[in-house]
Amino acid sequence: MDDIPKALPVNPTRLIDQLRAFIRARNLAYKTEKTYIHWILRYIRHHHKRHPREMGAAEVEQFLSYLAVHGRCAPSTQKTALNALVFLYREFLHTPLSGIQPALPTTKTKTPQVLSHQEALSVVAQLRDPYLLIIKLLYGSGLRLNECLRLRIKDIDFAMNIIIVRQGKGRKDRRTLLPASLTSALQQQVRYVESLHRLDLVCGAGDVYMPFALASKYPVAARSLGWKYLFPAPNLSIDPRSDIKRRHHIMDSSVQKALRQAAKRTSSVKTINCHIFRHSFATRLLEQGYDLRTIQELLGHSDIRTTEIYTHVASGGGLGVRSPMDL
């Protein structure tokens, strides 16, 4: 249940607890909170656990340069660390940083790796439910792994053939397509969740985690079928915030482990992870002639330039050029 914010003291005294409370008061995503805390702790430990108030722009610049030179981090990694430290000083400590000029990592344009349709199917053929259906959704709907695992029953609209992604990356909702070939399997999965829910109700564990203040606003909804996770965990667990025993969704590590084992049973030499199916989804749509704007909306990209990178991996490199060897 590592996607549920941990409980904090009522009156936190530790810097990190105070910072967590401040981030939650700003209503930032929990993933953002974890990322910011990670880099701020690394910054503090790098400077031998000095308090951030005792440091400033010089120490931040030295830390970021260390990441680039000795840590050999990617530009995006250094930018994430910088964002976390700017937030710490400007928003939390009210001492804005200025004049920072750290050493910059070598900028590299990274082309996403994708699977051909046959390669994707060969991996899928090695999986068993529920992991089989999860990976099919990643490939068939372009979902990120955690977006898929956090789906609730009510997010699947069989009548309109769409999937509603709630609070995706950037805390944005979006709609994506529901593959017609998965309708039957998804309906069967819903029936399975319904039977599991009835058993949980008998055991007194029929509640489900509700985000934000929805548990207070809709106290009965936590026990309704519509709010149940589409891919429930096999066992009950204790909610770290409320100490209530209930059923969460399957953990991402379980899916990743199952996929790694499945990939080993194929002949592919590519590095296969969950995100490669999202890349492959976008590439297939591009090869079928769909416009970039449509693909951008389905993927939930805020910038069209992020979507444009798939033109470099579509068949023919997106250029429509024939090699002289093929003439």
Give me the active site residues, please: 144, 169, 275, 278, 301, 310
Residue identified by tokens 């900028």 is 107
How many angstroms separate the CA atoms of 118 and 125, rounded? 10
Of 237, 250, 282, 227, which is closest to residue 133 (Cα–Cα)? Answer: 250
SS3 of 123-154: the string is HHCCCCCCHHHHHHHHHHHCCCHHHHHCCEHH
